[in-house]
């Protein structure tokens, strides 16, 4: 199965629905180690993405993702908006104007998303950020590339779930949670959790 602009728009709509559903959970994760706004930030941002897509869907997957990126960057404050925005922007640039994505393009897209987050936030694996979810997700997607888009996204989501859980015992080294030093231990990073939720939504929507 290929994946065109309308399909990518549907993945984003599914991502927005998941974020809305888990808004309070993400807020609660951000409360003890941050400022309790992650769920609200993302929900507002993805809400704007969906209403923009309801007006008109760009012609290419890259166009859809670029629109999502600029919306997230302009509408979401804090760390996560620019980080997710940069991720989507890198994906859009990587995809260019190809009209349809195959499995290898989706893997390339995930690699570009990770590169964007790392370029913007300079976090490494083990710093207790969204990078801890996205890095194993990319590796799992690469390993499952031959199984098709839905299966590789599902493998990526599984790996991201584990990656998000892996942040719980870590000392946060980046972002607001890092201000707490050792007191950040014992909490799942909200951005890692939202990354895992988004990948799960994309995987389910791609089935
Ligand atoms: P803020 O901390 O500004 O309130 P959010 O609460 O929306 O922003 O997002 C916090 C999340 O952003 C963290 O849980 C973490 O996953 C992610 N984050 C913060 N700084 C970085 C960074 N430098 N690199 C990668 N991810 C980061
Ligand atoms: Mg916050
Ligand atoms: Mg904030």
Q: So where are the chain's domains?
A: 3-205
Q: Ligand 2 being an ion, which residues bring their Cβ within 5 A of it?
A: 30, 34-35, 37-38
Q: In the numeric block, which tokens belong to residue 142?
A: 């690469």
Cβ neighbors of 109 (< 8 A, separation 6 or more) are 65, 91, 94, 95, 101
**Ligand 1 in reach of 63 Cβ (< 6 A):** no
**Ligand 1 in reach of 131 Cβ (< 6 A):** yes
pLDDT recorded at residue 2: 73
Of all protein residues, whose CA lies closest to atom 20 belonging to ligand 1?
175
**Ligand 1 in reach of 158 Cβ (< 6 A):** no
Paired with 100 in beta bridges are 4
- Pocket test of ligand 1: the residue of 38, 45, 75, 133 to mutate, having most ligand atoms within 8 Å of its CB, is 38
pLDDT block averages, 10 residues each, the chain of length 207 = 90 98 98 97 97 96 98 93 97 97 98 98 98 98 98 98 98 97 97 98 97
pLDDT recorded at residue 93: 98
Residue 81 Cα: closest atom of ligand 1: 7
Under 8 Å between Cβ of 113 and 121: no
Task: Quote the pTM value.
Answer: 0.98
pLDDT recorded at residue 77: 84
**Ligand 1 in reach of 79 Cβ (< 6 A):** yes
Q: Which of 120, 113, 125 is nearest to 202 (CA)?
A: 113
| β strands within 39-138, DSSP E | 100-101
Of all protein residues, whose CA lies closest to atom 4 belonging to ligand 1?
78
- Pocket test of ligand 1: the residue of 42, 122, 132, 191 to mutate, having most ligand atoms within 8 Å of its CB, is 191
Q: What is the CATH number of domain 3-205?
A: 1.25.40.340
CA distance 1 to 9: 16
The CA 53 to ligand 1 mean position distance, Å, reads: 26
**Ligand 1 in reach of 118 Cβ (< 6 A):** no
**Ligand 1 in reach of 117 Cβ (< 6 A):** yes
Of all protein residues, whose CA lies closest to atom 6 belonging to ligand 1?
38
| β strands within 44-118, DSSP E | 100-101
CA distance 54 to 44: 15
């Amino acid at each position: 199965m290929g994946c065109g602009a309308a399909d990518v728009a549907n993945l984003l709509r599914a991502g927005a629905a998941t974020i809305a559903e888990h808004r309070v959970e993400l807020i609660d994760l951000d409360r003890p180690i941050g400022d309790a706004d992650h769920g609200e930030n993302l929900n507002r941002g993805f809400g704007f993405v969906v209403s923009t897509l309801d007006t008109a869907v760009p012609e290419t997957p890259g166009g859809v993702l670029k629109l999502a990126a600029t919306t997230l960057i302009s509408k979401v404050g804090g760390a996560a908006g620019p980080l997710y925005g940069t991720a989507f922007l890198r994906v859009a640039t990587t995809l260019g104007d190809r009209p349809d994505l195959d499995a290898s393009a989706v893997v390339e897209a995930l690699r570009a998303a990770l590169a964007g987050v790392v370029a913007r936030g300079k976090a490494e694996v083990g710093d207790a950020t969204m990078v801890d979810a996205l890095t194993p997700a990319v590796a799992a997607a690469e390993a499952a590339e031959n199984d098709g888009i839905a299966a590789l996204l599902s493998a990526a989501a599984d790996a991201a779930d584990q990656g998000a859980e892996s942040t719980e015992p870590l000392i946060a080294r980046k972002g607001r949670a890092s201000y707490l030093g050792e007191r950040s231990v014992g909490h799942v990073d909200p951005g890692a959790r939202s990354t895992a939720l988004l990948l799960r939504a994309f995987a389910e929507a791609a089935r």
